[in-house]
């Protein structure tokens, strides 16, 4: 393994994806769609990343926030910036412009921070197993987006969020035709199998055999319903394994964020929490840290968080893996809190008040 023989001082900056994975975990922050939707710069529904063209400085800022929080990868925000999705919002003519802009923004951040630059392709939203014409259209979508990514000089390409195994394989073929390292991640539907009926493990093995450097899961499932399938994937392949769940508390009966129902009866306007009323299900940062430890322990090294994630999740993931990203300078220090602290400079009568009025978890037995 090249990384092991590299001089101790070798900057991580000079290492590619596989060298970094050989040396330890690699963090890739995702979740740009949901974050910009919450902030009011992207529309839920079509979820096309128009913000890339309209507010490029915000996209650059979020890339920087995620790197600050510990991401080793800057993933170009080209998710759903493909022909089929742009057509839905009447912006097909902006196809090249939005891809080139997203890649340029990501490249600027990656090259100035010593992180890896990833191109991104995803589910086409038009693929169907028995529709040969859709396969042709999917190939075109992949080839043109990969072309722009290669032009930008990406370090590798992510193909993500596939629930059809066949579509994931087409994406991989396209990445391999372009001679790029491939990270392919599956969004495993509620039923626990790909849309063709293949298991995630079987699909990942086929992806590995077809040349994928990293295979695994992203999106759709929260940590609790990602980890069991991840274990099966780990046992089925010898290549690197990826895990980028959504930060939501999914359950065995509601294993995907699309299937969650709110016990309080609250929901979004179309009768379900997904996608804009998921707040009560959000994992806290410590749960994401725990997920990172468990995923690493079972042998997954390419780790991140998908839709719903904020920089605080990424920072705790990084810290759980033993890192101290720049944002850790501001990690919590409750010793200075006016009610729950213990610093001698604090008003002691406040602390006494809190001791009387807020039972500590230890005391509540
Ligand atoms: Zn996602």
Q: In the chain, what are the domain boundaries? A: 2-332, 333-365
- What pLDDT score was predicted for residue 253? 98
Q: Is the pLDDT of residue 196 over 80?
A: yes
CB-side neighbour CA atoms (13 Å) of 328 = 14
* Of the candidate ranges 52-56, 154-158, 160-164, 269-273, the one whose mean pLDDT is the lowest: 269-273
Residue 11: pLDDT band with limits 50, 70, 90: low
- What pLDDT score was predicted for residue 12? 56
Residue 308 C-alpha to ligand 1 middle, in angstroms?
7
Residue 211 C-alpha to ligand 1 middle, in angstroms?
24
How far apart CA 29 and CA 303 sit, in angstroms, is: 8
Determine if residue 127 is left, alpha or beta; phi over 0 gives left, psi from -120 to 50 gives alpha, anything else beta: beta
Q: What is the mean pLDDT of residues 29-42?
A: 97
- What pLDDT score was predicted for residue 288? 98
How far apart CA 76 and CA 56 sit, in angstroms, is: 12
Residue 43 C-alpha to ligand 1 middle, in angstroms?
15
Residue 10: pLDDT band with limits 50, 70, 90: very low
Q: If DSSP codes are grouped into helix, strand and coil, which group holds residue 244?
A: strand
Q: What is the mean pLDDT of the chain?
A: 95
CB-based burial, 54-93: b 16+ in 10 Å, e otherwise: eebebbbebbbbbbbbbbbbbbbbbbbbbebbbeeeebee
Q: What is the mean pLDDT of residues 206-225?
A: 98
Q: What is the mean pLDDT of residues 118-127?
A: 98
Residue 340 C-alpha to ligand 1 middle, in angstroms?
36
Residue 122 C-alpha to ligand 1 middle, in angstroms?
10
Longest distance between any two alpha carbons in the chain, whole Å:
74
Q: What is the mean pLDDT of residues 216-235?
A: 98
- What pLDDT score was predicted for residue 359? 73
CB-based burial, 292-323: b 16+ in 10 Å, e otherwise: bebbbebebbbbbbbbbbbbbbbbbbbbbbee
List residues bridging with 248 in a β-sheet: 282
- What pLDDT score was predicted for residue 2? 46
Residue 33 C-alpha to ligand 1 middle, in angstroms?
8
- What pLDDT score was predicted for residue 365? 42
Task: Evaluate whether the domain defined by 2-332 bears CATH number 1.10.3720.10.
Answer: no
How far apart CA 214 and CA 139 sit, in angstroms, is: 21
Residue 247 C-alpha to ligand 1 middle, in angstroms?
9
Phi, psi values for residue 77, rounded to 5°? -85, 65
Q: Is the pLDDT of residue 296 over 60?
A: yes
Residue 220 C-alpha to ligand 1 middle, in angstroms?
6
Q: What crossing angle do the helices spanning 32-39 and 56-68 adopt, rounded to 10°?
A: 120
Q: Is the pLDDT of residue 7 over 70?
A: no
Residue 172 C-alpha to ligand 1 middle, in angstroms?
19
Residue 219 C-alpha to ligand 1 middle, in angstroms?
4
Residue 134 C-alpha to ligand 1 middle, in angstroms?
23
Residue 203 C-alpha to ligand 1 middle, in angstroms?
19
Residue 135 C-alpha to ligand 1 middle, in angstroms?
23
The percent of residues in the chain predicted with pLDDT above 90, rounded, is 92
- What pLDDT score was predicted for residue 24? 97
303, 321 in Cβ contact below 8 A?
yes
- What pLDDT score was predicted for residue 267? 87
- What pLDDT score was predicted for residue 362? 61
List residues bridging with 184 in a β-sheet: 159, 215
Residue 44 C-alpha to ligand 1 middle, in angstroms?
13
Residue 295 C-alpha to ligand 1 middle, in angstroms?
18
Residue 307 C-alpha to ligand 1 middle, in angstroms?
4
């Amino acid at each position: 393994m090249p990384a092991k023989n590299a001089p101790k001082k070798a900057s991580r900056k000079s290492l590619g994806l596989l060298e970094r994975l050989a040396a330890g975990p690699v963090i890739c922050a995702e979740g740009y769609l949901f974050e910009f939707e919450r902030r009011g710069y992207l529309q839920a529904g079509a979820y096309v990343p128009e913000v890339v063209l309209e507010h490029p400085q915000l996209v650059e800022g979020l890339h920087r926030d995620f790197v600050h929080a510990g991401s080793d990868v800057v993933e170009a925000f080209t998710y759903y910036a493909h022909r089929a999705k742009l057509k839905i919002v009447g912006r097909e003519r902006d196809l090249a412009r939005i891809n080139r802009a997203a890649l340029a923004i990501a490249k600027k951040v990656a090259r100035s921070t010593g992180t890896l630059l990833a191109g991104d392709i995803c589910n086409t939203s038009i693929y169907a197993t028995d529709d040969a014409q859709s396969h042709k259209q999917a190939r075109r979508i992949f080839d043109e987006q990969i072309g722009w990514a290669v032009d930008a000089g990406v370090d590798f390409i992510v193909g993500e969020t596939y629930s059809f195994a066949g579509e994931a394989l087409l994406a991989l073929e396209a990445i391999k035709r372009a001679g790029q390292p491939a990270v392919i991640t599956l969004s495993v539907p509620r039923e626990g199998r790909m849309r063709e009926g293949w298991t995630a493990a079987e699909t990942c093995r086929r992806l590995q055999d077809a040349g994928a450097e990293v295979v695994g899961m992203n999106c759709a499932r929260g940590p609790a319903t990602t980890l069991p399938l991840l274990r099966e994937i780990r046992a089925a392949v010898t290549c690197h394994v990826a895990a980028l769940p959504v930060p939501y508390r999914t359950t065995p009966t509601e294993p995907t964020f699309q299937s969650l129902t709110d016990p309080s009866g609250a929901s979004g306007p179309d009768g379900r929490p997904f996608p804009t009323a998921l707040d009560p299900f959000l994992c806290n940062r410590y749960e994401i840290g725990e997920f990172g430890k468990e995923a690493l322990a079972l042998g997954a090294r390419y780790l991140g968080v998908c839709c719903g994630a904020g920089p605080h999740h990424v920072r705790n993931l990084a810290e759980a893996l033993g890192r101290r990203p720049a944002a850790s300078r501001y990690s919590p220090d409750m010793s200075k809190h006016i009610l729950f602290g213990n610093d001698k400079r604090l008003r002691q009568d406040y602390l006494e008040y809190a001791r009387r009025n807020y039972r500590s978890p230890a005391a509540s037995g």
